[in-house]
Structure formats: C-alpha cells, structure tokens
C-alpha cells in the first residue's frame, strides 16, 4: 500500500486550508466592509474638507 487513508486525508486537509483560508478572509472583509459602510466609497468623491491656501 503506497498511499494510505491518512495520506489522502492529509492532502485533503491541506487543500481545504489552502483554498479555504483566503476565501474566508475575502468573505469576512466583504461582509464587514458592507456592514460598516454600505458600499466602498469611490476614491475621488465624498465629503472632504476644503484645501487651505
């Protein structure tokens, strides 16, 4: 038996971690961002204090 159940399980866990961690981070940032301030503001708009002389 070259490849056992444990090796397959380890590969599956590693694959899930590699794929899942970035997806969870992206989902958390999206949900927290939309929850705090409706939608991300455009870069060159929004209330801004007038520049002094």
Q: What is the mean pLDDT of each run of 10 residues along the chain (53 residues)?
A: 86 92 88 64 57 64
Residue 33 CB contacts under 8 Å (≥ 6 apart), including other chains:
40
pLDDT score, position 30: 84
Residue 40 CB contacts under 8 Å (≥ 6 apart), including other chains:
33
Angstrom distance (rounded) from CA 53 to CA 49: 13
Angstrom distance (rounded) from CA 16 to CA 52: 53
Angstrom distance (rounded) from CA 3 to CA 10: 11
pLDDT score, position 33: 75
Contact 8, 15 (CB under 8 A): no
């Amino acid at each position: 038996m070259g490849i056992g159940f444990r090796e397959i399980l380890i590969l599956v866990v590693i694959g899930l971690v590699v794929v899942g961690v970035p997806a969870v981070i992206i989902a958390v940032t999206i949900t927290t961002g939309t929850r705090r301030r409706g939608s991300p503001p455009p870069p060159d708009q929004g209330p801004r204090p007038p520049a002094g002389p």
